[in-house]
């Protein structure tokens, strides 16, 4: 078996039918390119979501009032009033695994400055809220303990609120904004964070002392939520367990009773979003992979045509001493050369398409070397798999019948 001659014969056959060979490779090119592009989009989305969640605080813990059953009817969490200021104080004093903690009460209202108005939400928080949510005061200052104790009518605002209220370029610091009937002095401006991966505007924010929102805006004595931050990401689970134990003791909940609160972490959200994006990535890859199968069928089809066209040639070669394995190898080499060439072009198309999606559609992408290697390996295996049967058929031809074939 002269491998050099086999490759020369295979290359000559492919070069002699350029258009047919190109159309055969097209299925492989589209398949490999589609798989790489789809996986790049899926992985890019996954990394973008993980990055956004990390920016929100990967070790953040959210404590919400839980559902309860009254008269056989399960109540909504929003209607519950199980979280009190005492819970916040006890968690702050007793917890060992929490590095920061902030109560949260929110009021949706119309913000008015001069002739401009904008519908937004005022969140009542403590100073720790900034570190928990990884926010920074760009200009001015954050309110202090005195402001909280006196329920001071002060606030810090985000860029979106500024853009909608201060349309003439005024400096917001020191200006008074009315939220409904409550006037508040702007003492700080938050650094812009833009939109997150879920499409939420992180600059549409107004922060005020939690006592101000509770007493002056909502007239309530309960909390809508408590935000906390674990000492480290590795200690998130122990922190959650500790929070549950402290709150169960505070609320006098018996061992056989359900919690009247809910504790969630960013890790849970990250895990859920990652699972969803992984599922979508696999689905996209499977859809794109169908093109590889179609391309493989195209290789099989063209190899059958090639065997039929060259039946007499096969008979002559076998009659002068060529073995069945030589014929099998020759046609298999042709199929593999077509699939590998198509795979190389497909990789280039896939990489270019991925960057085109990033540039023109502004979608996040992440080209994984594994996806390139995997798609290339699959297209090679496809060439061998779909090229083997026609090659085997050629190798099993009877030399005399083949010579007589017209």
Strands 206-209, 154-157: parallel, antiparallel or unpaired by DSSP? antiparallel
- How confident is the model at residue 12, as a pLDDT? 75
Query: Residues 283-297: what's their mean pLDDT?
Result: 75
How far, in Å, CA of 218 to CA of 20, rounded?
A: 75
* Least confident window among 25-29, 112-116, 128-132, 153-157: 25-29
Alpha helices in 205-265 (DSSP H): 210-212, 236-250
Instruction: Please tell me whether residue 32 adopts helix, strand or coil conformation.
Output: helix
**Does 250 score more than 70 pLDDT?**
yes
195 within 8 A of 49, measured Cβ to Cβ:
no
Q: Which two tokens stand for residue 275?
A: 């699972």
- pLDDT tens-digit series, residues 150-193: 999 999 999 999 999 998 888 999 999 999 889 999 999 999 98
The pLDDT of residue 70: 47
* Average confidence (pLDDT) over 256-282: 76
**Structure token pair of residue 88:** 């916040």
The residue with greater pLDDT, 6 or 172, is 172
pLDDT at residue 270, as a whole number: 65
Q: What percent of the chain has pLDDT over 90?
A: 31
CA 253 to each of CA 122, 260, 348: distance values in angstroms, whole numbers, following the listed order: 32, 8, 62
Supply the pLDDT for residue 322: 72
Q: Counting beta carbons within 10 angstroms of the beta carbon of residue 200, is it exposed (0 to 12), middle (13 to 18) or buried (19 or more)?
A: exposed
Strand partners, 111: 118, 179
Burial degree of 236 (CB within 10 A; 0-12, 13-18, 19+): buried
Measured from the Cβ of residue 309, the count of other Cβ atoms closer than 10 Å reads 11
User: Mean per-residue pLDDT for 94-120?
Assistant: 92
Cβ–Cβ under 8 Å, residues 56 and 134: yes
Distant-in-sequence, close-in-space partners of 28: CB < 8 Å, separation ≥ 6: 292, 295, 296, 298, 299, 338, 339, 342, 343, 346, 379, 382, 383
Residue 271 — very low, low, confident or very high, per pLDDT cuts 50/70/90? Answer: low
Radius of gyration (Cα) for the chain, nearest Å?
34
Report phi then psi at 106, rounded to 5: -130, 145
CA 147, CA 207: separation in Å to the nearest integer?
12
- Mean pLDDT highest for which of 51-55, 79-83, 400-404? 79-83
| Cβ atoms of 216 and 151 closer than 8 Å | yes
Q: Which two three-digit tokens encode residue 36? A: 């790489």
Determine phi and psi for 90, rounding to 5 degrees.
-65, -40
State residue 300's pLDDT score: 76
Say what the pLDDT of residue 77 is.
Answer: 47
pLDDT band per the 50, 70, 90 thresholds, residue 78: very low
CB atoms within 10 A of CB 16: 9
Place of tokens 């493989």: 296
pLDDT at 290 over 70: yes
| Partners of 184 in beta bridges | 177
Q: Global pTM?
A: 0.62
* Residues 325-357 pLDDT 10s: 777 777 788 888 888 888 888 889 989 998 998
Residue 57 in contact with residue 321, Cβ under 8 Å?
A: no
């Amino acid at each position: 078996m002269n491998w050099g001659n086999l490759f020369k014969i295979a290359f000559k056959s492919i070069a002699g039918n350029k258009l047919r060979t190109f159309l055969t490779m097209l299925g492989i090119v589209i398949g490999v390119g589609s798989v790489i592009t789809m996986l790049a989009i899926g992985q890019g989305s996954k990394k973008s979501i993980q990055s956004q969640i990390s920016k929100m605080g990967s070790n953040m813990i959210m404590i919400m009032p839980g559902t309860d059953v009254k008269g056989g009817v399960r109540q909504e969490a929003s209607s519950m009033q199980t979280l009190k200021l005492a819970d916040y104080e006890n968690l702050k004093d007793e917890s060992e695994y929490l590095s920061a903690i902030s109560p949260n009460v929110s009021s949706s209202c119309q913000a008015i400055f001069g002739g401009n108005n904008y519908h937004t939400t005022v969140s009542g928080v403590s100073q720790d809220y900034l570190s928990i949510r990884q926010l920074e005061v760009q200009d001015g200052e954050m309110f202090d303990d005195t402001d909280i104790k006196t329920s001071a009518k002060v606030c810090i605002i985000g860029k979106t609120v500024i853009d909608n209220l201060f349309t003439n370029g005024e400096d917001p610091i020191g200006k008074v904004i009315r939220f409904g009937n409550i006037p508040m002095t702007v003492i700080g401006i938050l650094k812009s964070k833009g939109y997150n991966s879920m499409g939420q505007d992180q600059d549409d924010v107004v922060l005020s002392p939690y006592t101000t929102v509770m007493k002056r805006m909502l007239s309530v004595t309960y909390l809508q939520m408590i935000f906390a931050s674990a000492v480290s990401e590795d200690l998130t689970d122990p922190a959650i367990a500790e929070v549950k134990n402290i709150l169960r003791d505070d609320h006098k909940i018996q061992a056989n009773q359900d919690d009247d609160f809910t504790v969630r972490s960013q890790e849970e959200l990250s895990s859920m979003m990652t699972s969803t994006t992984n599922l979508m990535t696999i689905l996209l890859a499977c859809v794109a992979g169908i093109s590889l199968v179609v391309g493989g069928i195209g290789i099989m089809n063209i190899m059958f045509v090639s065997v039929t066209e060259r039946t007499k040639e096969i008979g002559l070669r076998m009659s002068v001493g060529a073995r069945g394995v030589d014929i099998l190898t020759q046609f298999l080499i042709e199929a593999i050369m077509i699939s590998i060439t198509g795979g190389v072009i497909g990789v280039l198309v896939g990489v270019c398409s991925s960057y085109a999606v990033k540039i023109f559609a502004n979608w996040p992408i992440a080209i994984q070397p594994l996806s390139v290697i995997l798609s290339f390996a699959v297209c090679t295996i496809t060439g061998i798999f779909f090229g083997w049967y026609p090659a085997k058929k050629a190798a099993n031809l009877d030399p005399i019948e083949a010579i007589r074939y017209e």
